[in-house]
Chain A
Amino acid sequence: MVKRLKLYKSGIIATIFILMFSLVIGACGNSNNKAGVSSPETTTPPAEGSSSPTPAADLPPVTLSWYFPGNFPQPEQDKVFTEVNKIVKEKINATIDFKPISFGDYDQKIKVIIASGEAYDIAFTSNWLNNYTQNVAKGAFLPLDELLEKYAPKSFAAIPANFWDATRVNGNIYGYINYQISARTPDVATSKALADKYGFDVNSISGKLSPDTMNLLEPYIQAVKKDHPEKALISQLSQIYEMFSFESLAGFNVPGAVSYNDDTLTVFNQFESDEYKKLAAVLRDWNAKGYLNSKERISKKQDDWADAKAGKWIMVIGGAYKPGVASLNSELGGEPYVSAPASKPYLTTGGIVATMQAISRSSKNPERAMMLLELLNTDKDLFNLLNFGIKDDHFGLNAEGLMVPGPNQQGYNPQVPWMFASNFLANVQEGMPKTVWEDTIKMNEDAEPSKLLGFSFDAEPVKGEIGKTSAVFGEFYRGIELGVINETKYNEFLSKMKDAGADKIIAEMQKQIDAWKTSK
């Protein structure tokens, strides 16, 4: 009894301690928090007429911290970053505190940094990593409209207005777009040697694929399969969802989509649509015919090009079709490839907000951060230095001015040109058409913009349901894309989606779209 009383007492003491400390921390947090909120107001200088470039000497020196993901660390990144900082120091009197984080750690790390209120200036954000709308809804980023106008006029003008509209949440821009290919459709690719041998012209199916017309591919698959049973057709839902005639609103794994040609903007559950069911049926049929090699692929989370190199692919539907893609594929596959777009490309919000930089609410120097973004997006040499490393060391240029690997390429080769700034400033690689960026911009311009461009879904009210439905999707998607689940199983998938709150998500989406429509 006495002992129990003691235990009880120690429990009380512990509780008191905890409470005390929460008060102390609470108080500290309080003062810090106030400072954090007020800093943008106090530090934004009344920069009138500053649209003309300010000489670096007039600016006080600052350090800007920048978190970004990629294949980091690179063995010689410090050497490259030092070179970059030399230029940045000279141009805008700033020093970048580089915080390169590996892809796998980025989400976790940036989440903790944002949640803890730690001060940083710039971070990469998108709809797939460091979720943009979620962070905006939670107030992690600063609105950029004014900063863009004042401090980044050139790069602001270089990107079409409807792109900027796509980043708007409640009328404000929170993300600085890294301009790149945004008109999206899957790429249909196959080895040139194989296509030639079996007389398949990839251009014959260019832009024609849909769940209804998958049989266009069958003669080729069948012919190759007969001679090469080890080869398979590679397609994944995560790779081909952009082929459908609808746009998924909260990611391909969350129910809720709108047809591109639907003026009423009615949200529906794409997994229940005929299109989805038809594709599932085709894949089921193809699995039965052995085209998919499902048995060996089911325990692989994703098909990668190592298999292609080892001669296991007939053709792949996936990736994004863009000018120059065939030469990229050839590099990955280790032999010449031919490519064609799977369907008609659309310009969607998802394609645009896939690569952006945001300025943190905790930033002490948001205007300088914006100057840095302007600099990175207008200075070609600086961008290429950051992107490919030091000239004649990590990369070289051939006689035609095309980029070739340098003697020391392994020292710095992060392979994420879309991550630092506008992709269109990048050196053109040898083997690509010289006009590849002009062609890409043209493809962006020619693509039909989605009617939902500028609408962004705020997932906050249904985040629990989104979690539950994406867990259901995770359970079934691999079975669907490999055609190993039958119709009964597919219906089970649908009913589980319903139980997980698919209808609630769709209703919320419809509500938000209707509100957006009237506000427009």
Chain B
Amino acid sequence: MAATKKKSRQFRKSFQLTMLALPAIIVIFIFSYIPMAGVFIAFKNINYEQGIFHSPWIGFDNFKFFFTSNDAWLVVRNTLGYNIVSIVVGTLLAIIFAILLNEIISRKALKVYQTVFFFPYFFSWVIIAYMAYSFIGPYGILTRFIEDLGFTSFDFYTETWIWPFLLSFINIWKGLGYISIIFYAGILGISQEYFEAAAIDGASKYQIIRKITIPLIMPLITIMTLLSVGKIFYSDFGLFFFVPREVGQLYPVTQVIDTYVYRMLRQSGDIGMSSAVGLFQSLMGFIIVLISNYLVKKVNDDNKLF
């Protein structure tokens, strides 16, 4: 009797919670899962006369063009490289900034910083590319400054070595305000009691940060990292396409999977081929996330993604 009562309460609880989640479940189902049925496009040679449903199957032919291209491995390397740097350095800096912001005593200064750090996020990559050009272009502010220092004829757009740093910097710079807000809000969510208790025990600032702040925002850090790891085979198209201004000599260090595929398919615009590369990118990211999630689970089950 008691057992059935408990069960029915259990059921009611699950039911009510499910109802709470239902709107999102439905939206996700409609806008994400239903179109997923179209994944077969990657395996078809699309012909409009027959419609996409009746076009001939061609197996893995659509994948071939990418993997047989000269630069396939180069662009995969670049994609992974830039992503790893931005995940590691970007996350670290964002945590540091969040902690620093939390240490600030003046409310007013805090508000100003947060607002200002958000500026880069308001502008699209095309605009940021213009900004960059106005600094490092041949008539840019920075270029002329460098030339005034006596380095005659310094040209950012032909120096390959500088671009990995530059693109990583711009990428992190643009997202830093955004990501540090997440960690900052995470720190705000930490119960004041912990800090007070630590202060009473005479812990130093550094100790508090290491023993309380960081461990308590660890779940947030983990989830953010896991989510970015899933996208590790994708890159921010706008950053790599617009900022280097399509200067061909820079391709060896600026070309990533998304820009490469875009440039290859710009003319033919074949949807089968572009779907194939997208599927590959997702699948690789998925595998990596499954592995990392498994590792996270081993370390701390609470931090896992699913």
Contact = CB atoms under 8 A, between A and B. Distances in A.
Interface string A438-478: 00000000000000000000010001111110111011111
A361 B49 CA distance: 8
B51 A29 contact: yes
A139 B47 contact: yes
Given A139-B50, A298-B247, A463-B273, A17 B69 contact: no
Interface string A104-145: 000100010011110000000000000100110011100000
Contacts of A25: 34, 37-38, 53
Contacts of A463: 65, 268, 270, 273
B96 interface: no
A496 B71 CA distance: 10
Contacts of A251: 267
B34 A117 contact: no
Residue from the set B249, B267, B268 with the largest chain A CB neighbour count within 10 Å: B267
B139 interface: yes
A251 B268 CA distance: 12
Interface in A334-353: none
Contacts of A140: 48-49
Interface in B10-50: 29, 33-34, 36-38, 40, 46-50
B33 A17 contact: yes
A12 B168 CA distance: 40
A111 B269 contact: yes
A467 B267 contact: yes
A70 interface: no
B247 A299 contact: yes
Contact of A7 (B37, B269, B306): B306
Contacts of A470: 263-264, 266-267
Interface residues of B, number: 49
Nearest to A29: B53
A216 interface: no
B102 interface: no
A131 B158 contact: no
A134 B138 contact: no
Contacts of B266: 470
A123 B270 CA distance: 18
Residue from the set A14, A30, A139 with the largest chain B CB neighbour count within 10 Å: A139
Contact of B251 (A22, A475, A499): A475
A138 B37 CA distance: 22
Nearest to A467: B264
Nearest to B244: A299
B215 interface: no
B211 interface: no
A21 interface: yes
B34 A21 contact: yes
A382 B29 CA distance: 49
B210 interface: no
B143 to A, nearest CB: 10
A295 B138 contact: yes
Interface string A355-368: 00000010000000
A195 to B, nearest CB: 27
B287 to A, nearest CB: 14
A22 B37 contact: yes
A440 to B, nearest CB: 29
Contacts of B153: 295
A29 to B, nearest CB: 4
A33 B269 contact: no
Given A296-B139, A301-B246, A471 B71 contact: yes
Interface in A10-33: 14, 17-19, 21-22, 25-26, 29-30, 32-33
Contact of B70 (A115, A299, A300, A472): A472
B269 A134 contact: yes
Nearest to B40: A22
Contacts of A465: 65
A33 B49 CA distance: 9
Nearest to A478: B248
Contacts of A36: 51
A292 interface: no
A500 interface: yes
A117 B263 contact: no
Given A22-B37, A296-B138, A470-B263, A115 B50 contact: no
B52 interface: yes
Given A25-B37, A111-B271, A296-B139, A117 B52 contact: yes
A37 interface: yes
B285 to A, nearest CB: 17
Contact of B248 (A17, A107, A476): A476
A115 B158 contact: no
B54 interface: yes
Contact of A115 (B52, B54, B64): B52
Contacts of B50: 33, 139
A32 B54 CA distance: 12
B260 interface: yes
Contact of A474 (B133, B156, B246): B246
B245 A115 contact: no
Contacts of A29: 51-53
A37 B270 contact: no
Contact of B133 (A19, A299, A478): A299
Interface string B126-159: 0000000100011100000000000001011110
B33 A14 contact: yes
Given A30-B53, A114-B48, A475-B248, A500 B69 contact: yes
Given A22-B37, A138-B48, A131 B268 contact: yes
B204 interface: no
Residue from the set B29, B246, B306 with the largest chain A CB neighbour count within 10 Å: B246
Contacts of B29: 17
A478 B158 CA distance: 12
Contacts of B306: 7
B117 to A, nearest CB: 28
Residue from the set A111, A131, A467 with the largest chain B CB neighbour count within 10 Å: A467
7 contacts: A17-B29, A17-B33, A21-B33, A33-B53, A138-B47, A466-B267, A467-B273
Which 7 pairs from chain A and chain B are nearest by CB? A139-B49, A464-B65, A22-B37, A467-B264, A296-B138, A33-B51, A299-B157
Interface of B: 29, 33-34, 36-38, 40, 46-54, 64-65, 68-71, 133, 137-139, 153, 155-158, 245-249, 251, 260, 263-271, 273, 306
Given A298-B155, A299-B137, 20 more contacts: A22-B37, A22-B40, A29-B51, A114-B48, A115-B46, A115-B48, A115-B52, A116-B52, A139-B47, A295-B138, A299-B133, A301-B245, A361-B49, A463-B270, A467-B267, A468-B264, A470-B267, A471-B263, A474-B248, A475-B249
